[in-house]
Amino acid sequence: MTDTNIVLRMAPVEADQLARLVDELKNVIASGRDGGDPAVSRLTPSPYPDDRTASEEFEASTRDDLLDRRAADAETMLSGLSGLRSLVQDEAFEERDLRIAAEDVDPWMRTLTALRLVLASRLASSTSSRNRPATPSSSTTGSAIAWSCSCRPRTPWADRSRNLDDSRRPPSRIIAIEMRLLLTRPSIPVWPIGVAVPRERPGLPRRLVRLHPHPHVRKGRGRRSEDAAALHEDGASRIDRVALRNGVVLPVPPAPRPGGAEGMRSEDRLERVRDAAVESVPARIDRVHRDELDRICTRPGIDDHPRESRLARTAPTVDQHDRGTRADGAHIIDDQTSGATQRDRDRVVTS
């Protein structure tokens, strides 16, 4: 199955972000060697859960090797990504071929799996992750790993791949890469993720929403979509637009007024936005970058623009990003993000 090389299309900025995740994975492994970190324990499960002695014996003789191999796999993946990581302003978002040699496919997949296991473990230990994605500032780990968790879609593959029906999948981009490794699909649609922007009311929380591309999946469950419910709780009537990546802002249809029947239910409103999102930004909506969303969510003043028309062009972009707000050196990417933002803005039709 691994006779041939696999070619991924990947932009340098993506390679860089992915590599940083893998870097973090390596750190987690290195610092969790002594035990005590549930994420590392998940990478080295006990084969004898009911037999403590046998379990300890097995662990004593295998754990270090196992973690060594994870680190070595991660290193393989990093060196595979290294060619793409060099960030030059104009090329950061230009997808290029990333060739993965046949013998490297397994290390890649094991690393991605390990990464997802760590993510899942971190996620499980966080209480608020299910309905309300953790933002970087509120996450316990304060890391890209936690942030990536918050960007995960729910059932992106439900209708695309017959085997994959699980609704608890970790980050979209990792899955996207993994799926390409598995299926070598040319392109994989991923749910648009947007930020619900409150209507010119400073102090109202912005909220990440996922725009479900397959409404019937959700309807089948017979319950209200969590995002719509969340919007409702947050005062949906005051949220009038959803900012997608790179400057795309979509209007949200009006909410019902307190006294009358005018307007639409939160679910329908979101659905309307979703349709518009899928229509206006085909194919590449999966390129939601951690840093961008990070900035969209945390930057003050995103909704301070007085006029919608101006906001539609400029609001969620990163032109005036706050330098030095991240401790992990993300500013290296910022310039490139801005450059691509400009280009994307030119390309995308905003309403």
Partner 1 sequence: MGMSAPIATPDLDLDLDLAAAPMEPWQVVVWNDPVNLMSYVVRVFRTYFGYSQEHANRLMLAVHHDGHAIVATGPRETMEVHAQAMHDYGLWATVRKAGS
| Least Cβ distance, residue 35 to partner 1 (angstroms) | 15
Q: Which of 10, 26, 44, 197 binds partner 1 (CB under 8 A)?
A: 44
Which residue lies nearer to partner 1 by CB, 116 or 218? 116
155: three-class secondary structure by DSSP: coil
Region of 39-47, 90-98, 221-229, 246-254 interacting with partner 1 (CB under 8 A): 39-47
Q: Which of 49, 260, 306, 329 binds partner 1 (CB under 8 A)?
A: 49
Region of 28-36, 37-45, 78-86, 304-312 interacting with partner 1 (CB under 8 A): 37-45
| Least Cβ distance, residue 207 to partner 1 (angstroms) | 25
DSSP per position, 72-128: HHHHHHHHHHHHHH---GGGTT--EEEEE-HHHHHHHHHHHHHHHHHHHHHHHT-TT
Q: Does 2 bind partner 1 (CB under 8 A)?
A: yes
CA 294 to chain centre: 11
Q: Does 284 bind partner 1 (CB under 8 A)?
A: no
| Least Cβ distance, residue 3 to partner 1 (angstroms) | 12
Q: Rounded distance, CA 67 to CA 44, Å?
A: 8
Is 297 exposed, middle or buried (CB count within 10 Å of its CB: 0-12, 13-18, 19+)? buried
Kindly state the DSSP code that residue 141 receives in the 8-state scheme. Answer: S
7: three-class secondary structure by DSSP: strand
Q: Which of 106, 159, 226, 308 binds partner 1 (CB under 8 A)?
A: 106
Q: Does 163 bind partner 1 (CB under 8 A)?
A: yes
Q: Does 48 bind partner 1 (CB under 8 A)?
A: yes
Q: Which of 22, 109, 134, 340 binds partner 1 (CB under 8 A)?
A: 109
Strands across the sheet with 207-210, in order? 207-210, 193-198, 239-243, 249-251
Q: Rounded distance, CA 20 to CA 74, Å?
A: 11
Contacts of 155 (CB under 8 A, 6+ apart): 165, 166, 167, 169, 214, 217
Question: Which residues sit at the interface with partner 1, rule CB under 8 A?
Answer: 1-2, 43-49, 58, 62, 66, 69, 106, 109-110, 113-114, 116-117, 120, 161, 163-164, 166, 168-170, 175, 178-179, 182-183
